[in-house]
Amino acid sequence: MSTEKFKAWVCTALEMEEKGKVFYEKAVSSCEQGLGKEVFTMLRDDELKHIERIREIEKALDKDEDLVQVCRIDEEQDDLKKVFRDMAAKSQKETPCTYAVKALQTGIDFELALIRFYEEALRGAEEDLEREFLKRMVSEEKGHYVLLSDLNYYYEDPEGWAMEKSGYELDGA
């Protein structure tokens, strides 16, 4: 990807991540408590991290600096499935706030759009550093998608969710 193309990509990425942050902030403020609020808070915080990373890349590009340091992503990443299971176990069977239910599909659609955006950029990446960064972004956005899908399933069918996640099997007897 040429430097100019990469700069354009950075601008679009910042815009999309900023929209995600604003969306999740609204979701957090619209839910007074519970699992939805916790999940949306976690996602908002992740979008803030993404914005910080991308802004660092933008600064490095503007100064013609080496991108090795700013594109490096720490390997530490939460297992979002485990985090969600732990949160859901604490919350027991809760009634979701109305906004959380409405926001879930929008959030799922948004995360899918981010996945497509980063995958498209990945196809155009020419350097290993870009590819590694974009692969990680795709992975993180897929984690967000799974988290929101899991929350949606939890709200739609808490008993089914609990059975599936705890490993129960029906033997048909």
Which tokens is 36 given? 């939805």
* 99 within some domain: yes
Amino acid at 4: E
Amino acid at 11: C
Q: pTM for the complete prediction?
A: 0.76
Question: CB neighbours of 22 closer than 8 A, spacing ≥ 6?
Answer: none
- Total domains in the fold of the chain: 1
Q: Which domain holds residue 135?
A: 3-159
* 91 within some domain: yes
Q: In a structure prediction context, what are the per-residue pLDDT tens digits for the chain, which is 173 residues long?
A: 566 777 788 888 889 999 999 999 998 888 877 778 888 888 999 999 889 888 887 787 777 766 555 555 555 555 655 665 666 666 556 666 677 778 888 999 999 999 999 999 899 888 777 788 888 889 889 988 988 888 888 888 877 877 776 655 555 54
What sign does the CA torsion over 97, 101, 106, 110 have?
A: positive
Amino acid at 45: D
With residue 76 as reference, give the H or E element that holds it: none
CATH code, 43: 1.20.1260.10
- Rounded CA-CA distance 157/69 in Å is 45
